[in-house]
Chain A
Amino acid sequence: MANTTTPTMARSFLQVAATEEVAPPLRAVQIEGLVVLKIIKHCKELSPSLVTGQLLGLDVGSVLEVTNCFPFPIREEDEEIEAEGANYQLEMMRCLREVNVDNNTVGWYQSMLFGCFQTVELIETFMNYQENIKRCVCIIYDPSRANQGVLALKALKLSDSFMDLYRSNNFTGEKLREKNLSWVDIFEEIPIKVSNSALISAFMTELEDDTPVTQCDYDRLQLSTSPYLERNVEFLIECMDDLSIEQQKFQYYYRNLSRQQAQQQAWLQKRRSENMSRKAAGEEPLPEEDPSNPVFKPIPEPSRLDSFLITNQIANYCNQINGYVTDLKDRLISYPGFWAELQPIIFDEGLA
């Protein structure tokens, strides 16, 4: 395929349309700077509550270009309002089309707090989108993480194998083993690339200050460590609880299963001895399977989806903690150096 050789930027719309049938795997998400700013603004302004919005753009080969976005009004737990939301979305799209902006839906964005996004709802939304749009991503922005001076953007999509499995809605242990699907394979993270038009880049360079230090850098040097870690650990604890609950479900299931098997065995034994005696009496043996018997009614195996999601979240938290702590360590190590340099300045000022 050409996508590896030709720079994605240069591909024209027609070209893409010509090669569409092949549908190469999604390699990257390219977001306009404007879109990023809009997302950040939206998420940050309404920070504690979670918000969502629509992503618009183009699907160009292995790259998904996100060129525009608009926020959804804050959803409330009310059907009417939800219907209004849908109307709003349609209306918005119509307006955008009229002014000739990209109005091709490529996904949605949402804010999250402390990285808890792996939920069943997310998957469901994803599946809904997937029905209409072949390629769709979800961009997640974490304002709490952003406070530490990081661009906390993440583009996600569901893995294909998971989607198949989800469609058949069959998360038994056997199927999972068959598909060789583990918890890691549910979500795929796609690298994000922020692009700006040359004009904007030039303008930005023009605007750029002389001072080498930005607000972001100051954020990065923040030394109050515990709140963030505490929150993460708390969430971890919650996850552990959830996981134990899941585990209990399984235990219960297995206990029931073994009990049922014992019952089945007993029943079979009985039936067999009965058959023996019937045979001896010259009668027709009874069938060894009796589907009407409640003993043979299969006990539904609890879905593993929840535990998979929880595991994902745990992994997420762990990564966050890991990353954060690594940063922290660097910070702490570099701190004495800073201090040594800053001290004379501060003292000088103090003396003056």
Chain B
Amino acid sequence: MASRFWGQGDSESDEASDYEEDIEDEETGEPTAQTAENKYLRGTASDSDESDDQKRVVRSAKDKRFEEMSATVDQMKNAMKINDWVSLQESFDKMNKQLEKVMRVMESEKVPTLYIKALVMLEDFLNQALVNKEAKKKMSSSNAKALNAMKQKLKKNNKQYEDQINIYREHPESEEEPEADEEEDEDEESDLEFEEDPSKIAMSDEDDVKDQSEMEGGWEKMMSKKDKLMDKQFAKDPSEITWDIVNKKFKEVVAARGRRGTGRFEQVEQLTFLTKVAKTPAQKLEILFSVVSAQFDVNPGLSGHMPIHVWKNCVQNMLVILDILVQYPNIVVDDTVEPDENETQKGADHNGPIQIWGNLVAFLERMDIEFFKSLQCIDPHTREYIERLRDEPMFLVLAQNVQEYLERVGDLKAAAKVALRRVELIYYKPQEVYDAMRKLAEQTEDGGNGEEPKVEDSRGSSAFVNTPELVPRKPTFPENSRTVMDALVSLIYKSGDERTKARAMLCDIYHHALLDEFATSRDLLLMSHLQDNIQHMDISSQILFNRAMAQLGLCAFRAGLIIEAHGCLSELYSGGRVKELLAQGFSQSRYYEKTPEQERLERRRQMPYHMHINLELLESVHLSCAMLLEVPSMAANVLDDKRRVISKTFRRLLEVSERQTFTGPPENVRDHVMAATRSLRKGDFQKAFDVIESLDVWKLLRNRDGVLEMLKSKIKEEALRTYLFSYTSSYDSLGLDQLTKMFNLTAAETKVIVSKMMINDELQASWDQPTQCIVFHDLEHTRLQALAFQLTEKLSILAESNERAIEAKIGGGGLDLPQRRRDGQDFANHAASGGKWHENSSFTHGRQGSGRSGYGGGGGGRPQVLGQGYGYSKGASNLRAGGGYSGGSRYQDAPTRMVTLNKGARA
């Protein structure tokens, strides 16, 4: 039996040669007639045999049926001879009907050999006819139609009798062997087994279909069937199995990979079985590698994900791989060198290094991707999703182990990659979620311990190479997620490549922001210069960057840094494509239809639900910030409010809401903020705050009360500022206590705010200390003055560009023109204007972001063409920013720089 199995390959080649003979026959001489003859001769010979055979057994009642059938078969042969597919088709249908009768008469399950023979004959003839293209062309249309119909029918029909056909093909003349029966039983068993597994059944069905189309298809199936036999065989006498046998079989199975009709699940099974019979640890390892890659093959598409149980199995396999690697440190895994054929023959006691082909990191990354994909695909509102999430610690253990192994081996670069995978699983988790995960991991450990070895036991009972569980199966999570991050990230910084480092940095930033460490995360962002070159990175990293920025914005908001928060978030909202930018859903565009290809790509980029940043919260934060900044600014620049737009998005929304004839009660975030804006513009801080507070997304914030308190004080402050901007012209002087009462602020706070406005030249006033009054100076510019200022500005721009023209004429590069121009405009503003004008311009430029005085040393290396003026302006705006926003100045330029960079044009 064993020899028969191992000799399977031979039998196939026989079969193939048989077939070739047929073709040769066809080639020689007149094609159709002769082959038909051949068939006929052969057919009759066997036919008589068969009928004799039957006659012995069958009584006369059945006899009749059989004769009818054989008559039909004869008819078919005749039809074949003259290549008449129409009548052939009729006969075929007739035969099928007769078959039913025969079966009924015979009262048996078995299909008569006669029928099978006819099928085989028909199939061969059909194949010939299909191969012979010229003859096909010559056919009449009805004939050709019949041929095609026949092809379809036969395919469908033969599927039912596939096994018998195969048997018949193998042993065309011999009688049925008892073994064959056994095989059949076996086959049925295996079929039953297949049906037990619902996910498999689909696969095997699919395979079946494929099998039909090919001659070869059949024997794969046979092999899988015989695999069971092999199991038995191996189980019976383990001592007989040698390394060579296993190796040969292994090679065979691997060679079948990727071929059409190779059952993917079966291959995994076969390989898994082989791991048990592997003779040396190296061999086991090699086979395990193949198992894992075969498991990856189970799902061929890019969009679908790996079945979860296969994934889990895969994790276990990986762990076993690690076990072996730890147990035998002399085994080296490498994917660059092609190891020697018999490298795996070296036994466990071999001293020298053994090289095995494989790539742990690639496997691990693939597993992570599969995990990610499965989360993308599963509906997040189901139990399944949660179940899937529970598998995360499992993966983390694996990653941890792989990383440790790699570190031990000294492959730090690979270790960094693995560390990044771990980082990417952790970075978005707030401490609470992290704790939950840690607890879950500890809990499942107790339950899982029993389960895992069981799997191992059931499979490894007969394993020759027993691998003790050396690698810990239990994740060791430190108490604090920050500790994990720090450790991993520092490893990556030390030895990762550029992309890994950048991603790790972004994750780090995100995590810091998540933990409310705004300053740290801001510094990281600025030091890394990620804003400058994120444009050149891959889309997934850009998404990560956007996420980090969003998180940073939220963090800044929680910390009460409104300008910074707005700087971080405004860009996300500038295009109205937040969802797309954060990969949290699809945004439809009215003007632009996406191609299906793009859509697919986008779908593949989506973040799993549990990693989402709440968009509503993000929008609330963004709009609140925009409101706090815009409302006073609008009040301050009533005359030309088009010029100093801080948030275009906000302005647009405001315009839309102002255009409405009737404003109902607010429903969504926008409505709320717009309602608040309307109140705030009137100076009604309490109402504004109430409206904002009524947004229920705030509950998503950790310290909701604190943030709301902050928001309230900010709203008060901005309300005061707005009030002063709007109504100073109506006052000669204003009492401090009056203001204090009006805005429910303390005297000190009011004083601070008002004084700041005076210092910033936003308010032309002075304090009258004894009476605690603000005395306003009417420094309103007349229209003429304003125009004159405008004129001077224009003039200086003109002068500036003239200078540059001269410069271009008398030398100087043309490449850095845009940059210099930008500076030049600043220069113009600073140089040409004084007083309030000056202040305003520098204020705007600081905010809108020339980005010139950014963190990176203010572009130190740039040639200072404009000399003093240029330097002066730089200094001034730095000073301004530094004074204005308590320590946030460095930062403040940076996000704005990002804005300009991304928009690519400056106002």
Contacts and interface: CB of A to CB of B under 8 A. Distances in A.
A243 B797 CA distance: 11
A233 B798 contact: no
A129 interface: no
Nearest to A236: B791
A308 interface: no
Contact of A255 (B782, B783, B814): B814
A226 B795 CA distance: 21
A247 B787 contact: no
A244 B801 contact: yes
A233 B801 contact: no
A240 B798 contact: yes
Interface string A234-265: 10110011011001101100110011000000
Given A226-B782, A230-B783, A254-B808, A247 B801 contact: yes
B805 A226 contact: no
Given A247-B798, A254-B808, A233 B814 contact: no
Nearest to A258: B814
Contact of B794 (A240, A250, A254, A259): A240
B783 A251 contact: no
B788 interface: yes
A229 interface: yes
Given A247-B805, A250-B805, A254-B808, A237 B787 contact: yes
B907 interface: no
A229 B784 contact: yes
A168 to B, nearest CB: 26
A247 B804 CA distance: 11
Interface in B804-819: 804-805, 808-809, 814, 817
B795 A240 contact: yes
Contacts of B190: none
Given A226-B784, A230-B784, A255-B814, A244 B805 contact: no
Interface in A185-231: 226, 229-230
B242 interface: no
Given A251-B805, A254-B808, A244 B797 contact: yes
Given A254-B805, A254-B808, A258-B814, A233 B788 contact: yes
A237 B784 CA distance: 12
A248 B801 CA distance: 8
Nearest to A248: B801
Nearest to A255: B814
Classify chain A: how many residues form its interface, as a range: 10 to 19
B802 interface: yes
Given A226-B782, A226-B783, A237 B790 contact: yes
B791 A243 contact: no
A52 to B, nearest CB: 31
A244 B801 CA distance: 8
B787 A234 contact: yes
Contacts of B814: 255, 258-259
B794 A237 contact: yes
Interface residues of B, number: 19
Interface string B744-786: 0000000000000000000000000000000000000011100
Contacts of A237: 787, 790-791, 794
A261 to B, nearest CB: 11
A322 B658 CA distance: 45
Nearest to B787: A233
Contacts of B802: 247
B784 A243 contact: no
Interface majority SS (helix, strand, loop, mixed), chain B = helix
B629 to A, nearest CB: 29
A233 B784 contact: yes
Contacts of A250: 805
A240 B808 contact: no
Nearest to A234: B787
Contacts of A255: 808, 814, 817
Interface string A258-283: 11000000000000000000000000
A273 to B, nearest CB: 25
A268 B382 CA distance: 71
A123 B716 CA distance: 62
Given A251-B805, A254-B808, A244 B798 contact: yes
B255 to A, nearest CB: 55
A243 B805 CA distance: 14
Interface in A19-77: none
Contacts of B817: 255
Nearest to B821: A251
A226 B781 CA distance: 13
Contacts of B794: 237, 240-241, 244
Contacts of A254: 805, 808-809
A290 to B, nearest CB: 25
A259 B817 CA distance: 14
A255 B818 CA distance: 12
Interface in B799-849: 801-802, 804-805, 808-809, 814, 817
A313 to B, nearest CB: 14
B643 to A, nearest CB: 14
Nearest to B797: A244
Interface in A126-145: none
Contacts of B808: 251, 254-255, 258
Contacts of A247: 798, 801-802, 805
Most chain B beta-carbon neighbours within 10 Å: one of A229, A244, A255: A244
Interface in A87-134: none
A143 B783 CA distance: 24
B323 to A, nearest CB: 64
B737 to A, nearest CB: 40
Contacts of B805: 247, 250-251, 254
Contacts of A244: 794, 797-798, 801
Contact of A240 (B782, B788, B791): B791
A233 B791 contact: yes
Nearest to B801: A247
B171 to A, nearest CB: 76
Nearest to B790: A237
A226 B797 CA distance: 25
B712 to A, nearest CB: 44
Contacts of A230: 783-784, 787
Interface in B134-180: none
Contacts of A251: 801, 804-805, 808
Nearest to A262: B814
A68 B804 CA distance: 53
Contacts of B791: 233, 236-237, 240
A314 to B, nearest CB: 10
Nearest to A231: B787
A328 B802 CA distance: 33
Interface string A338-350: 0000000000000
Interface in A161-188: none
B599 to A, nearest CB: 40
B810 to A, nearest CB: 12
Contacts of A229: 784
Task: Please provide the 10 A-B residue pairs with the shortest distance between their CB atoms, ordered closest to farther.
Answer: A240-B794, A233-B787, A226-B784, A247-B801, A230-B784, A237-B791, A244-B798, A258-B814, A237-B790, A237-B794
Given A230-B787, A237-B794, 18 more contacts: A226-B782, A226-B783, A229-B784, A230-B783, A233-B787, A233-B788, A233-B791, A237-B787, A240-B794, A240-B797, A244-B794, A244-B801, A247-B802, A250-B805, A254-B805, A255-B808, A258-B808, A258-B814
11 contacts: A230-B787, A233-B787, A233-B788, A234-B787, A237-B791, A244-B794, A247-B801, A248-B801, A254-B809, A258-B808, A258-B814
Interface of A: 226, 229-230, 233-234, 236-237, 240-241, 243-244, 247-248, 250-251, 254-255, 258-259
